[in-house]
Amino acid sequence: MSKTQRMPAIETIGTNPTKLWGLSMEERHRRIGAANGYDGSAGDAVLLVNAAYVADPAWVRHLAANPGLVLTIDGTPALAHAVDQPSAKALRQAMRSGSAVPEGLELTVYRYEDGPTIENKQLRKRETPFLAELQPQTLKSIERASYFGAYKGVTDVLTKYLWPEWALFLTRITARIGMTPNMVTAIGAILCVAATVAFAFGHYWAGIAMGLVFMVLDTVDGKLARCTITSSWWGNIFDHGIDLVHPPFWWWFWTTGLVYWGLALDSTTFWWVQGAIQGGYVLQRLIEGVFMRRNGMMHIHVWRPFDSWFRLITARRNPNMVILFVSLLFARPDLGIIAVAWWTVISLAVHTVQLVQAEIARARKGEQLTSWLAGDEA
């Protein structure tokens, strides 16, 4: 959002006794407004949200960016971006009475039943975000929709396919006992350090167990923050800082811990392995950063369908841990870390090709590239 962009105020219409993730609809919408800067600087324009329904925050952001847009469900306006006082008055009445969008107003109407799709740039996916009537009997299903709506569409294979149900269970528990995302991150950080120590002494199974819990909690803290609308600058720095810093330590101490298994690498192999892993990790991150800066902060993993697919398996922490886990099944953690080194080099080569291809494509188009997820909003 531009610092000079004028934003509408956000206003909750009606009341609803049912709470989602412990939040009333008024508090939920207040948090969404505060997080996105909906400060009323756009004058008479107002973003109206119907308390009878609950919508994915992505819908709220989409309507805020599109004046005159209304999203209906069962014929009733659930969200609306009114551009003037007459439109706002008519839409408020329609929301309170559960009636159809008033005629004679210059509005664009999306019917949720038609499955309109939008791009969620924050979570790197294109979808029809959830929208549903909030009642006690629908709460469980809406919690589930809210949780999965907070999932990144482009991520690694474990986060996408293995963690979701475990993390949903833990997210519900942490929300109900009043834990904050930063508390979850702190617990995960302790486990992350403990896993590093375990690797250093060759206690690989213990380290993987603690690392597994840490990796699941690394998903839980983000989902808890998005579901309860409690993301913060410090929380993002804390979470992403840990994610960025710890992997090189894990791979280093996994390698030094081999001595306790009688499988220590010779000096030459040790430094080749560490050079490939550590150097490859840094260079891969740098390539991702250069790509983003060259393409309007678009992630390298959302440019083309192949790029999104390769994110599932590229040499990041979770795919690397799969390799190491398999190596332990055969009691050869030494071969596991060597395999991680080779996979890091291969992934780095793929990223390098992606960056070169992007530069060629930019030169041909004469403009920034766009994500395959963008498509046409409809």
The helix (run of H) or strand (run of E) holding residue 285 is helix 267-294
Using alpha carbons, select from 50, 30, 60, 59 the residue that is nearest to residue 134: 50
Confidence of residue 104 (pLDDT cuts 50, 70, 90): confident
Tell me 151's DSSP state. Answer: S
Residue 1's pLDDT is what?
Answer: 46
**What single-letter DSSP state applies at residue 159?**
I
The number of beta carbons lying within 10 Å of the beta carbon of residue 309 is 12
Predicted confidence band of residue 283 (pLDDT cuts 50, 70, 90): very high
Indicate the pLDDT class of residue 4, thresholds 50, 70 and 90.
low
- Which residue in 64, 18, 28, 7 sits closest to 229, CA to CA? 28
Global pTM value:
0.83
* Mean predicted lDDT score pLDDT of the chain: 92
pLDDT confidence tier of residue 230, bands split at 50, 70 and 90: confident
Q: Does residue 22 surpass a pLDDT of 50?
A: yes
